[in-house]
């Protein structure tokens, strides 16, 4: 219990300070090009590493996870809104769970 609450505090404080420090303390632009590029690419790297391979375990069942992933990749590729992609992936996974056992 205490461990969990302390863990939540670590998460919250880390996240807050990351957001707060630049807004409060830095008033000039970063000049170092390598650092700028690194900061620019980090979100894409993080989200990709978080998604792959975890997305294939996301529904606790490989075939339906693959169905959801395929739908999400196609819809995301065409730039559909986040919420549409997210819910369509779930819908595809759900349909796969219902329909695949019948085949």
Partner 1 sequence: MHEFRKGFVQGVSIALGYLSVSFSFGILAVQSGLTVWQAVLISVTNLTSAGQVAGVGLIAEHAAFAELFLAELVINIRYALMTLALSQKTDRSFRLPQRLLTSYGVTDEIFAVASLQPEPLKPKYMYGLILISFLGWTCGTWLGAAAGTLLPVKLTNALGIALYGMFLAIILPPARKSRGILAVILIAAAISVFLKFAVTSLSGGFAMIIASVIAAVIGAAFFPADDAESKEADA
Nearer to partner 1, 11 or 103 (CB): 11
Binding of residue 101 to partner 1 (CB under 8 A)? no
User: Which 22-81 positions form the footprint of partner 1 (CB under 8 A)?
Assistant: 22-24, 26-27, 29-30, 33-34, 36-55, 58-61, 64-65, 68-69, 71-73, 75-77, 79-81
Closest approach, Cβ 102 to partner 1, in A, equals 14
96 in Cβ contact with 63 (< 8 Å): yes
Nearer to partner 1, 93 or 102 (CB): 93
Closest approach, Cβ 3 to partner 1, in A, equals 8
Distance CA 30, CA 6 (A): 33
Structure tokens that stand for 93 in this block: 């996974």
Residue-wise DSSP of 22-57 = HHHH--S----HHHHHHHHHHHHHHHHHHHTTGGGG
């Amino acid at each position: 219990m205490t461990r969990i609450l302390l863990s939540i505090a670590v998460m919250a404080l880390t996240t807050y300070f990351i957001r707060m420090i630049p807004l409060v303390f830095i008033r000039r632009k970063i000049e170092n090009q390598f650092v700028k590029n690194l900061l620019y690419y980090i979100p894409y790297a993080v989200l990709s590493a978080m998604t792959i391979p975890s997305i294939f375990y996301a529904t606790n069942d490989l075939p339906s996870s693959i169905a959801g992933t395929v739908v999400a990749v196609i819809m995301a590729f065409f730039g559909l809104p986040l919420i549409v992609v997210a819910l369509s992936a779930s819908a595809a996974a759900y349909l796969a769970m219902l329909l695949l056992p019948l085949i």
